[in-house]
Amino acid sequence: MQYPEPIAKLIESYMKLPGIGGKTATRLAFFTIDMDEDDVTDFAKSLISAKRDLHYCSICGNITEEDPCQICSDPSRDQTKVIVVEEPKDVMSLEKMKEYHGLYHVLHGVLSPIEGKGPEDINITSLLTRLQTHPDMQEVIIATNATPEGEATSMYLSRLIKPAGIKVTRLAHGLAVGSDIEYADEMTLFKAIEGRTEI
């Protein structure tokens, strides 16, 4: 017996999300059907709003409603440091610790020859332009994940940035190899920033 088409489509939609298999998608679909209509409407509006109202900051590449984003437009932030991260969710993770007050730059990925991702496929050009037009910049802190791709991206960026006379450091103690910034707690992130080393 097949599910009615609306349920089947809902299950297919949930299966497009990362980490959601058939069983979980089916459970979520039936949970959605049991929700109040107002809650389902609010859920649908949230999805549409997130897609329509959010975009990337033209300066740092972080996800935002306004352009430039709140961090880039905040004059009280330390204009001499920028942390380079892989994804917007990494900015949120670092901001939670409330210890870093500099700027950010989001790459939207890492170099990965296996997946066919080269320098032109991630947000590197705008970082280099930003550094050239920002005379106060003293340090670039590379906070890519401790994966082979993250390390390769870190080394590549270091080779590009160092000739400009800007200090390049890498997050150190606290982040285990193979771990993601997104899942680290505030103290681990604080120790990683505190113990960063020059590349």
Same domain, 187 and 118: yes
Percentage above 70 pLDDT, the chain: 96
The bridge status of strand 55-56 relative to strand 167-170 is unpaired
Domain boundary among the residues 17, 38, 53 is at 53
Within-domain flag for 69: no
The residue range of the domain holding 11 is: 5-53
Separation between Cα atoms, residue 168 and residue 139, nearest integer Å: 6
Within-domain flag for 64: no
Same domain, 86 and 18: no
Higher pLDDT, 152 or 171: 152
Average pLDDT (30-47) is 96
CATH number of 135's domain: 3.40.1360.10
Same domain, 176 and 113: yes
Separation between Cα atoms, residue 138 and residue 127, nearest integer Å: 14
Residue 169 CA, distance from chain mean position: 19
What's the whole-model pTM score? Answer: 0.79
How high is the pLDDT of residue 23? 96
Same domain, 91 and 160: yes
- Residue reference for tokens 């939609």: 13
Which distant-in-sequence residues (6+ apart) come within 8 Å of 73 by Cβ? 66
